[in-house]
Chain A
Amino acid sequence: MAAPMYNVFVGAETGLLKGITLKKSQWNNLNAIASADREKEICAMCWDNTDESKVCFGLKNRQVLVYDVDAQSVEDEIHTFDGGSGKFRALAKVEGKYLTAVESGLVKLWDDDEDKNSIEIEAGKDLFCMEQNPQKSHIIGTGGKENELKLWDLQRHSEPIFKAKNVKNDWLNLRVPVWVMGVQFLPGSDKVVTSTGHHQVRVYDPQSSQRRPVLDIEVDEYPLTAISLRYDQDNQVLVGNTQGKMALVDLRNGKVMQVYKGFAGGIRDIKCHPSKPLVASCGLDRHIRIHDIDSREMVNKLYLKSRLNCLLFSSREGENATVNKSEVQKEADVESGIESEDEDVWENLELVKTKTVKKKEKEIVVKEDKVDRKRKKKKKSDKPKEVPMIAKKRK
Chain B
Amino acid sequence: MASRRKNVTRAEESKDEKQEIQTIPRPNISRVKNKQIRSELYRKMKAEKRKEKLKEKKREKQEAEAMGEEAPPKKVPKTIESMRVFDETMVNTQDEEVMKDESQDEMSSYFNRKTTPKILLTTTDRPTTRTRKLCKELKKVIPNIEIYKRRALDLKKVIPQALAKDFTDILVINEDRKEPNGLVISHLPDGPTAHFKMSSVRLTTDIKKLGRVTDHHPEVMLNNFNTRLGHTVGRLLASLFPHDPEFQGRRVATFHNQRDFIFFRHHRYEFRNSKKVGLRELGPRFTLKLRSLQKGTFDSKYGEYEWIHKRHEMDTSRRKFFL
Query: Which residues of A are at the interface with B, using a C-beta cutoff of 8 A?
Result: 14, 16, 29, 33, 36-38, 197, 222-223, 225, 242-244, 261-262, 264-266, 268, 284-286, 303, 305-307
Contacts and interface: CB of A to CB of B under 8 A. Distances in A.
A244 B104 contact: no
Contacts of A29: 97
Contacts of B308: 243-244, 264-265
A298 to B, nearest CB: 11
Ordered nearest first, which 4 A-B pairs have the shortest CB separation? A266-B304, A38-B104, A242-B304, A303-B88
B303 A242 contact: yes
A285 B89 CA distance: 10
Given A244-B305, A305-B97, A305-B98, 16 more contacts: A14-B97, A33-B96, A36-B100, A38-B104, A222-B302, A242-B304, A264-B307, A265-B304, A265-B306, A266-B295, A284-B306, A285-B306, A285-B307, A303-B88, A307-B295, A307-B306
Contacts of A242: 302-305
Contacts of B88: 303
Contact of B228 (A225, A268, A286): A286
Contacts of A307: 295, 306
Nearest to B97: A305
Interface in B95-129: 95-98, 100-101, 104
B236 to A, nearest CB: 15
Interface string B32-55: 000000000000000000000000
B101 A14 contact: yes
B97 A306 contact: yes
- Range class of the B interface residue count: 20 to 34
A266 B100 contact: no
B313 interface: yes
B314 interface: yes
Contact of B89 (A14, A262, A303): A303
Nearest to A41: B104
Contacts of A303: 88-89
B208 interface: no
A33 B307 contact: no
Contacts of A16: 97
12 contacts: A14-B97, A14-B100, A197-B302, A242-B302, A242-B304, A244-B310, A264-B307, A264-B308, A264-B310, A264-B314, A305-B98, A306-B97
B301 interface: yes
B80 to A, nearest CB: 21
A200 to B, nearest CB: 14
B47 to A, nearest CB: 50
B310 to A, nearest CB: 7
B96 A265 contact: no
Contacts, number: 65
A45 B88 CA distance: 27
Give the dominant DSSP class at A's interface: loop
B93 to A, nearest CB: 14
Given A262-B313, A284-B295, A286-B228, A305 B101 contact: yes
B95 A305 contact: yes
B78 to A, nearest CB: 26
Contacts of A264: 307-308, 310, 314, 322
Contact of B305 (A14, A265, A305): A265
Contacts of A225: 304
A262 B312 CA distance: 11
Contact of A33 (B97, B228, B310, B313): B97
A264 B290 CA distance: 13
Contacts of B302: 197, 222-223, 242
A306 B302 CA distance: 22
Nearest to A29: B97
Contacts of A36: 97, 100-101
B228 A261 contact: no
A261 B312 CA distance: 10
A13 to B, nearest CB: 8
A286 B100 contact: no
A53 to B, nearest CB: 27
Contact of A266 (B95, B306, B310): B306
B194 to A, nearest CB: 13
Nearest to A32: B96
Contact of A305 (B228, B301, B306, B314): B228
A14 B104 contact: yes
A29 B96 CA distance: 12
A262 to B, nearest CB: 7
B288 to A, nearest CB: 19
B89 to A, nearest CB: 6
A16 B98 CA distance: 12
A285 B307 CA distance: 6
Contacts of A223: 302
Contacts of B295: 266, 284, 307
A33 B306 contact: no
Contacts of B101: 14, 36, 305-306
B184 to A, nearest CB: 17
Contacts of B307: 264-265, 284-285
Nearest to B89: A303
B302 to A, nearest CB: 6
A95 B89 CA distance: 42
B304 A284 contact: yes
Nearest to A37: B104
Nearest to A39: B104
Contacts of B104: 14, 37-38
Contacts of B96: 33
Nearest to B99: A33
Contacts of A285: 306-307
B169 to A, nearest CB: 21
A7 B139 CA distance: 53
Contacts of A222: 301-302
A284 B303 CA distance: 12
A244 B307 CA distance: 9
A181 to B, nearest CB: 11
A243 B305 CA distance: 6
Contacts of A38: 104
A114 B71 CA distance: 82
